[in-house]
Amino acid sequence: MGNRHELDTPEIVIAQGKLRGQTNKMADGTTYYSFKGIPYAEPPVGKLRFKAPVPASSWQGVYDAKNHGPICPQMDMITGKVLEGSENCLFLNVYTKNLFMNSANLVPVMVFIHGGAFMSGSGDSDFYGPEYLLQHNVILVTLNYRLEALGFLCLDIEEVPGNAGMKDQVLALKWVKDNIAKFGGDPNNITIFGESAGGASVTYHLVSPMTKGLFNKAISQSGVFLNDWAYSDGACERAFRLGKHLGKETNDPKELLDFLQSVPVKDLVKVTLPTMLPEEKYRGLPIHFCPVIEKSFPNVKSYLNKPPLYSLLNKEITNVPLLLGYNNAEAIIMLNDNIKKADFINKHFQYKVPREIAKNISEAKCNDYGQRIKLFYFGDTGISETTLDQVSGYMEIEGACHADELFYLFDCEMVKDTVHEDKNLHQLVYTITKLWTNFAKHGNKIPDNTLDVQWAPYTTGLCEYLSIDSQLKMSTFANKDRTWDPGPGPACLYGKKEPVMGLVEGCSSDFSQEKSD
């Protein structure tokens, strides 16, 4: 297993060959080991572009795993600029304090799937640092997967049925299952967790036939497959619009594939907007290269072969403990976009009706629903800078924005010094990471004495949730006044009484764990 004492360059042997990592120190002086930029798949380039990933080959000698691999080509969500990265981007990172433990002392493993609208992000430690979680004696794995068109192009043909980015995640999970024991991790106690698109990915893995047996628990933060932004509608038609946008007009999917495999990679980034239909520019989020229900082919194993809602309603879902929630002011992140579109939306409030509903009702009914949404949230006034705080709030208003909880789970470079210097923030970080790692260790049978609250699992009768604030508190029926059906019952199953997960001190916030039986 390599050297059995602390070294600057620890080495271990995995299935592909020998790895050389790095020894690091946490803020309290504790030693941990990092192995970054480990390839889990062959570079998806040339004729492998858009296709399902191929497991990485073995190597000779020692693989230097001290630095992250390249990020996948993407658009920077803050600046809007293209980050070319590299198509050779299918790497993962392992962080462990337990490298030299014997097989009788293997520890729980947590595999994080990053968000970013399926079009940006990576598993790199500048944002997803491991130290907060490692203090609770778990192993953390982060990963890259292909994004936007490179990861989610669908041509409805055997070569490119779609979901390549999801299949990247599956292959990474297989790698973890096969190799994590060499890092001191328990391959029979793996928790997958993710935020936003990563949270939706986690729930897709619950219903995909590809992921059976690859994980034991799941945590979904601010995203599930029921969100209408989490799946692609008309994906094959979008692929042909992409070809036309890049100068290739054809009706032949294989001709289009040859063309798209030949264009520079930078031309396949930031292509969502030019392939959107007029209505899509106003309805819902601008996320369209994402998971699809695949067309079946005899020699291809589908990642997703039926609507996930069908799987949920028919209980065709992996039976593992599930923890899920969202922040109490998610929509702050959309404030500027709402202001820019306010004049149009005030005249056409039917565009606030979700995609899945809008496509299944008449135009008159859609207009009626739009007006009801307007009255519920804004009264007769409509959207303005004054009324928007009723939906999302400004930065000075208390509330946890979309992705805010990540700064309490990972030591992000931009804020970690602030956390270390602020005693209250430091305690909040400890509490939240303790909750997450307790779940990874124990599922929904968490010992009552680990924190100052008895965490009851969610039921459809009471819709229990844990409010995460400066104090932890159990409650029931989160956001009851904002649901269509105020009573208990099946509505809880369909997202009408979802718990709220706010992680900013001083704001009410909630969180739920599902029973596993």
Domains belonging to the chain, first-starting first, are 11-325 (3.40.50.1820), 334-444 (no CATH), 451-481 (no CATH)
pLDDT of residue 204: 98
Token digits of residue 381: 């006034």
pLDDT of residue 513: 64
Cβ atoms 509, 500 nearer than 8 A: yes
Q: What value, to the nearest 5°, has the Cα angle with vertex 287 and ends 360 and 156? A: 75
Tell me which residues are annotated as active site: 196
Signed CA dihedral, 243, 247, 249, 250: sign only: negative
CB-hemisphere CA count at 13 Å for 38?
A: 32
b/e burial code for range 429-457 (CB count within 10 A of at least 16 → b): bebbbbbbbbbbbebbebeeeebebebbb
What single DSSP character describes residue 281?
G
Q: What is the spatial distance between Cα 82 and Cα 69, in angstroms, rounded to a whole number?
A: 18
Q: Where are the alpha helices (DSSP H) in 299-362?
A: 308-313, 335-340, 342-347, 355-358
pTM of the model: 0.91
What residue type is 251 in one-letter code? N
Token digits of residue 348: 């056409």
Angle of helix 164-179 versus helix 197-207 axis, rounded to 10: 70
pLDDT digit string (tens) for the chain, length 517 residues: 444 445 678 999 999 999 999 999 998 899 999 999 999 999 999 999 999 999 999 999 999 999 999 999 999 988 999 999 999 999 999 999 998 767 778 999 999 999 999 999 999 999 999 999 999 999 999 999 999 999 999 999 999 999 999 999 999 999 999 999 999 999 999 999 999 999 999 999 999 999 999 999 999 999 999 999 999 989 999 999 999 999 999 999 999 999 999 999 999 999 999 999 999 998 999 999 999 999 999 989 999 999 999 999 999 999 999 999 999 888 878 777 777 788 888 899 999 999 989 999 999 999 999 999 998 888 888 877 666 555 547 556 678 888 899 999 999 988 877 777 788 888 899 999 999 999 999 987 776 666 778 888 899 889 999 988 888 899 999 888 776 454 443 333 333 333 333 333 323 345 566 544 4
Token digits of residue 289: 């290269």
